[in-house]
A and B are shown apart, each in its own frame.
Chain A
C-alpha cells in the first residue's frame, strides 16, 4: 500500500514494526540512526517516515529538519510521554503526528493510515482553520492568535472548531452541544453560556467586546465570516 521508512536505534523495534506493517500491506525499510535514515529516505523516496526522537548521533529533531529540507514527506514521531514542549517543537519542525512510547502497533498503524489519507486528499499536514488572526490546527489541537499559542481545554477547542468550520453561520446552543458531546446531551444547553464566557477569557483580547465568538441573541453563536 505505502512505502514506509522506520528510523529507530532500537533494532528489535524496527524489526517488529517492519514485520507488523508488512503484514498490514506496507513496504517497509528500516534504518538504525538518523544519518542512515536520511540516506534511505533519499534512496527509497518513502511515502511516510516513522522517526524516533531519542537516537545517538543525529537525533530525531535534527533528522526531521533535514528531511523537511529535502521535501514534504509526512513524518510520524515516536516521542516520550509527557514531553509536551518536545511535541510542540516537533510540530513546529513539521512533524505530522506523534505517538508516545510505549505505544500499540495497531494505534501506530491507524495513525499511519490517517496521515496517509490526509496527505492523499491534499491536506498535507493537517486541517488548519483560519479566521481573523486565529489559526486553529485541528489535528495538532493547537490554537494560535497572532502567532502566539492559546491554551484551551479539549472541549473549548471543540466549541471553537465547531464555530470556525462554518464561519458566518449561527449555530444554536443545541447544535454546539450535539457537535461537542454527542446527540445524547443535546438538551444540556445550559453549559454553553458558561463555556463561551471562559473560552472568550482565554481567546479574546477584550472578552467584553468579543471578535471571534459572537452571540446572536435568541439564536446562538457565530464565528464571523471574513469581510
Chain B
C-alpha cells in the first residue's frame, strides 16, 4: 500500500542556483564595467578632463557601490536559496524515510493480519473438530448406553426376585444411566447449538400451560417437593420456541431441586414488565456466592463443591442462557433472595419478548363467545 504524495512546494532546480551564483559575479562586474565606461566617456572624451588620481578614485568608488550592493544582495539570495534547497532535500529525505517506514509497518501489519486470519481459520477448524469429536464421542456412547439402560429395564422387571442387597445397587445403576443419558443428550444439544445446527421454531407460547406442564412433570408426586406456581392474570403469550423453552424451565426446576434440598417450597412466578414476559424460579437453598454469579452460565461451571453423587454437570445453565439469548431474551441470577442467612436462596429469572398481537382493525374478533 502506498501513501499519497504529500503536497509541498517544489525546491528550485540546482541549475537555477548555479545561474544565480554566476550572475552574482557577472552582473556586478558588468555594471562596474558600464559605470566606468560611462564615467570615462563622459569626463575624458566629452568634457576633456585629464586622468587624475582623484578622478580614478571617484570613478572607481561610484562604479563599485551599485555592483557591490547587487553582489551582496545576490549573495544573500543565493545563500537563502542554497539553504532552502538543502532543507527541501532534507525534508524529501525525511519524507522518503517516513514513507519507507510506513510501507514497512504496513507490510508488517499485512503479514500480522494474514497470520491472524490463518490462526483464525485454524481455530475455527479446531473448534469444528472439537464439535465433531464431541458429537462423535456422544454418538458412540449412546449405543452402549442404550444397551445398559435396556438391560437394566429387563432386570427391573425382575426386581422383586432380586436379593435385597442387589436392589439398591440396581437403583443406583438405573439412576446413573439416566443421568448419563441426560448428559450425553445435553452435550449433543450444546454442540449442535454451538455449530448453529439447532433449529428453532419460534411462535407464540402461552406461559401458564407451559409452566404448569413443566412443574407437573418435574415435581411429580413421587419426588415429594412442595412448589407453587403464580401467573399474572391476562399474561399474553411470549415469543419463543415452546419445546426448547419448556426444556429451559425444566432445567431451572431440576436445578432448584438439586441445589435446594429440604422442605421449603420452590416458587415459580410469571409476570409482565418492561414489555417482556418474565419468569422467575426461586428456591430457599444456600444461594450462589456473589463471585460465582458471573461464571454460573459458563459451560461446565458448577456452584460450590458438590459431592460426587450430584447429578449436575454444569451444562444446563450454559445451554439455558444460549437458548434464551437465541430467542431474543435475557436470563440472570439473584442471590441472596431472602433475609434468612442460613437459607438465602437463589432466583433465576428469564425474560422473553411478547408475541406480537394481531393488528387492530383486522376482521377477526378472536371468536369471542
Assuming A153-B203, A198-B355, is B364 touching A80 (CB within 8 A)? no
B147: chain A residues within 8 A (beta carbon): 10, 12-13, 16
A81 touches B188 (CB 8 A): yes
Asked if B242 is at the interface of the complex by the 8 Å CB criterion, the answer is: yes
In the bound complex, residues from chain B placing their C-beta under 8 Å from that of A153 are 201-205, 241-243
Asked if B362 CB lies within 8 Å of chain A CBs, one says yes
Contacts of A80 in B (CB 8 A): 139, 142
Bound Cα distance from A12 to B144, whole angstroms: 9
Q: A13-B147, A82-B189, A106-B153 are in contact. Are A191 and B204 (CB under 8 A)?
A: yes
| Given known A182-B209, A193-B358, A196-B358, contact A173–B367 (CB-CB < 8 A) | yes
Q: Which residues of B contact A188 (CB under 8 A)?
A: 206, 208-209
CA distance A106 to B356 in the complex (A): 41
A2 interfacial contact with B, CB 8 Å: no
A76 and B66 alpha carbons, distance in the complex (Å) = 120
* A104 CB–B CB distance under 8 Å: yes
Give the shortest distance, in Å, between A198 (CB) and chain B (any CB): 5
CA–CA, A151 to B181, complex, Å?
29
A138: Cβ under 8 A from any B Cβ = no
Say which residue of B153, B181, B189, B358 sits within 8 Å of A197 (CB atoms).
B358
* Segment among B69-77, B192-200, B316-324 that sits at the interface with chain A: B192-200
Query: Nearest B residue to A199 by beta-carbon distance?
Result: B203
Q: A10-B143, A13-B143 are in contact. Are A20 and B206 (CB under 8 A)?
A: no
Q: How many residues of A contact B (CB 8 A)?
A: 54
Which residues from A are CB-within-8-Å of B234?
Answer: 190
* In contact, A23 and B203 (Cβ under 8 angstroms): no
Once the chains bind, are B146 and A103 in contact (CB under 8 Å)?
A: yes
The answer, yes or no, to whether A142 is at the interface (CB within 8 Å) is no
Q: How far apart are the CA atoms of A20 and B151 in the complex, in Å? A: 9
Task: Assess whether B150 is in contact with A16, with CB atoms less than 8 Å apart.
Answer: yes
Per-residue 0/1 for A65-101: is the Cβ within 8 Å of any B Cβ (1 yes, 0 no)? 0000000000000001110100000000000000001
- Cβ of B342 under 8 Å from chain A: no
Within the complex, what minimum Cβ distance (angstroms) separates A187 from chain B?
Answer: 10
Within 8 A of A (CB), among B184-231: 184-185, 188-189, 192, 197-199, 201-206, 208-209, 212
Tell me whether A189 and B203 are in contact in the complex, defined as CB-CB below 8 angstroms, given that A81-B188, A82-B192, A82-B197 are known contacts: no
Any A CB within 8 A of the CB of B157: yes
> Bound state CA distance, A215 and B358, in angstroms?
13
The segment out of A30-38, A113-121, A216-224 that lies at the interface is: A216-224
CB of B157 within 8 A of CB of A23, answer: yes
Query: Does A156 lie at the interface of the complex (its beta carbon under 8 Å from any beta carbon of B)?
Result: yes
> Is A197 a contact of B357 with CB atoms below 8 Å?
yes
| Closest chain B residue, CB of each to CB of A80 | B139
B residues 128-187 touching A (CB-CB < 8 Å): 139, 142-147, 149-151, 153-154, 157, 181, 184-185
Please state if A173 and B368 are interface contacts (CB–CB under 8 Å): yes
User: How far, in Å, is A89 (CB) from chain B's closest CB?
Assistant: 15
* Cβ B205 vs Cβ A219 within 8 A: no
B204 & A215 in contact (Cβ 8 Å cutoff): no
Contact A192 B366 (CB under 8 A): yes
Q: Contact partner of B369 among A23, A103, A154, A189, CB < 8 A? A: A189
**Closest chain B residue to A215 by CB distance?**
B364
Q: Indicate whether B344 reaches chain A with its CB closer than 8 angstroms.
A: no
Residue of B nearest to A20 (CB): B154
Smallest Cβ-Cβ distance to A196: which chain B residue = B364
Residues on A with beta carbons closer than 8 Å to the beta carbon of B208: 185, 188
Pairs A-B, 10 closest by C-beta atoms: A193-B366, A220-B367, A197-B358, A153-B203, A173-B367, A102-B146, A172-B369, A181-B209, A16-B150, A215-B364
- Can you list 18 A-B contacts with CB-CB less than 8 angstroms, sorted by A residue number? A16-B150, A16-B151, A20-B154, A101-B145, A102-B142, A104-B149, A104-B153, A105-B149, A152-B201, A153-B202, A153-B204, A156-B203, A173-B367, A188-B208, A195-B206, A196-B366, A197-B356, A197-B364
